[in-house]
Structures are given as structure tokens and as C-alpha cells.
Amino acid sequence: MKEYQDYSLLKHNTFGMDVKAKRYVEYRSERELKRLIPTLQGEVLHIGGGSNLLFRGDFDGTVLHSAIKGIEIAEEVEGEDEVLVRAGAGEVWDDVVAWAVAHGLGGLENLSLIPGEVGASAVQNIGAYGVEAKDVIAMVEAIDMQRGEKRYFATVECDYAYRQSIFKNQLKGKYAITYVVYRLQKTPVLKLEYGNIRSVLGDQANVTIADVRQAIIDIRNAKLPDPKVQGNAGSFFMNPVVSREKFLSLQKDYPQMPYYEVEGGVKIPAGWMIDQCGWKGKALGRAGVHDKQALVLVNLGGATSDEIIRLCDTICKDVKEKFGIDIHPEVNMI
């Protein structure tokens, strides 16, 4: 176990906010976590790679971080196509994707290069290029933060929805995820329908999951800023879902508007609306809108959380005025 007081979180949030935690503890096993639980006082925040967080200021409590490692085949039945792979919550997400691709196991490749760690990816139900974490998760293992008991969540119990889960809602702060089990395929079924995956792959024959991973990496690198170079937390906003009526009336005014039919309505890309409002590549103080993907807010260097929030609020107001749609941050503000 590693423990620090008045610890700088600068390296633990990709937005690059220089804030401090009163206490910071990193544990390496479920046993260490269980030992730690009775010592916790006041507010507790569990973080992963800090790639979806915006700290508003110092955190006057304990920040916990899992360093539970390990990626292994948990179950493989002879003659069956599915394989269960179990990963520790503290594994870097993309390392798990790379491991699966190297072992010829399909299912994770479209989620290549998403920043963050395994535990948080199951809380946030990360998604990209037509795949969400919930599509590949078979089970989530967690520890009850009150009683220290282990609980196994079947995927249906996790209440997964777009960037949502029970761990962000009803059970917020109640459980710490320790392992996630994924259901992967020995004979991968490629998902190439989203956006420009096919055009990036070109007319290659016999496309493999390694090719898909590389194409996704190329697309992401071209569109999304590298947090090591420019602080950011990926998509700052969620894509709103509007009613069919609202969509049809908007489509009359904006025939070029991209959209996706989803359960309960039509999803409109917030990035497109922000772009239409003229915000792409613009800034307010030291908080900016990425010049290649307007859904991403960036720290242009030394931005305070107030500057980022001011930009967020201004964008929300402009989108509401132009399109009559409320957009909401995807980033968790602490």
C-alpha cells in the first residue's frame, strides 16, 4: 500500500489541474483494500486514470486508487468460441485491449486507445466506434466499501446505459470495482460500420482485429488531443438524445445534421452542434475547444477549473439558444 498526505493530483488527472488530496492511498489487492476500509474518514473519492475528471479545487478527503493488476484467461471451454478474460481494476485499459488483440481475441479492438483504467471503464461504460464496455463485460467484481464484503455483479445488474451504470448512480461510492471479466471471441466478429473505419482500412482484404485496432488508433490520434501534450478529458459533453418530433423539426433547418437512431429517440452529436455554434478551435481565457473535435475542451496551459467551467456553461447556453437542446457534461466534476 502507498499512502501520502497533502498529495498533488497533477499526475492523476488528464486535465492537468494542480490540486491536492488531503490523503491519497493506492492499494494493490482486495486484501489491502479491505484493511483500508475501516480507516477511511470523511469524503472518499475513488479514481482510475483521472481521464474523465475535472477537479474544482483541493479534495479535502481521501483519494483512493487501485493498483490491482493482472490480465488472464479466466475460463476457456474447449470447442466453444467464447473466452472469459479477467483484468485487475488498476490495469491500463488500452493494455488490456492490446493484450486481447495480441492473443487473437476479438471484442475490445474498437475501444483501442481510450484513456483510463479497467475499473473506471466499467463505471463509465466507455464507448467508441459502435462498441460499449457493456457489450463485452461478463461480470464485475467489487468490494462493498462499508462492510468490506465481495460482491459479483452480473452485467444485467449493472444497469448499463450510454456512459451510465449503477456504480455512477444508485450505488455511487458504495462499491470499489476490483476486477472486470470480459467475454471475448476466438473467431472475432468485426464491427466496421461506425463512421470512417472502413475508409481508413481502405480496400484491404482479410481484415484482422490488429488492423481494426490500428485504424482506430489512427482515427483517434488524428482527432483527439494527447493529454500528455494538452490537458483534456476526452469528450467533455454527452451526446443528447432528443424526441423524434424534435429531431424532424431540426432536420428541416439542418438537413446535413448527423444523427443516430437509438432507443427512445434520436442521438445528435453534441460536437457537431458546438462546431455549428462556431466554437471549434476557439477559447475563453486559457480554456479552449479542440480544433479537430469540438466535443473536447482543452487546457491551453494553466487553465483553472473555473475557466473550463465558464467555457462549458457558455457553450451549453449557445447550443440551447441555437438548437433548443440541453447538453450536459460527461466529465465528472469534483
Residues making contact with ligand EPU (CB under 6 A): 128-129, 195, 224, 234-235, 238-239, 258, 269, 271-272, 275, 280, 293-295, 330
Tally of CA atoms within 13 A in the half-sphere of 229 that contains its CB: 5
Shortest Å, Cβ 75 to ligand EPU: 29
Pull the grid cell for residue 95: 493494455
Shortest Å, Cβ 225 to ligand EPU: 10
Residue in 23, 163, 213, 220 annotated catalytic = 163
Q: Which is nearer to ligand EPU, 37 or 309 (CB)?
A: 309
Which amino acid, residue 6? Answer: D
Shortest Å, Cβ 224 to ligand EPU: 6
Residues 6+ apart with CB under 8 A from 54: 13, 15, 17, 233, 305, 308, 309, 331, 332, 333, 334
Pull the grid cell for residue 150: 465481495
Residue in 91, 132, 141, 330 annotated catalytic = 330
Element holding 215 (H helix, E strand): helix 209-223
Residue that has been written with the C-alpha cell 457489450 in this structure: 135
Shortest Å, Cβ 93 to ligand EPU: 12
- Give the residue closest to ligand EPU by C-beta: 234
Residue 294: what are its φ and ψ, rounded to 5°? -70, -5
Facing residues of 150 across strands? 143
Q: Which is nearer to ligand EPU, 4 or 247 (CB)?
A: 247
Distances (CA, A) of 88 to 70, 177, 198, 252, 272: 5, 9, 32, 49, 36
CA dihedral 176, 179, 180, 181 (to 10 degrees): -150
Q: Which is nearer to ligand EPU, 107 or 269 (CB)?
A: 269
Tell me which residue of 216, 221, 185 sits closest to 201, measured CA to CA. Answer: 216
Residue 330 a catalytic site member = yes
Q: Which is nearer to ligand EPU, 145 or 224 (CB)?
A: 224
Element holding 124 (H helix, E strand): helix 118-124
Q: Which is nearer to ligand EPU, 192 or 238 (CB)?
A: 238
Q: Are 242 and 273 in contact (CB under 8 A)?
A: no
Sign of the torsion angle spanned by Cα atoms 152, 127, 172, 91 = positive
Shortest Å, Cβ 303 to ligand EPU: 18
Q: Which is nearer to ligand EPU, 143 or 180 (CB)?
A: 180
Shortest Å, Cβ 275 to ligand EPU: 4
Residue in 66, 121, 165, 235 annotated catalytic = 235
Facing residues of 299 across strands? 231, 287
Residues with catalytic roles? 163, 235, 330
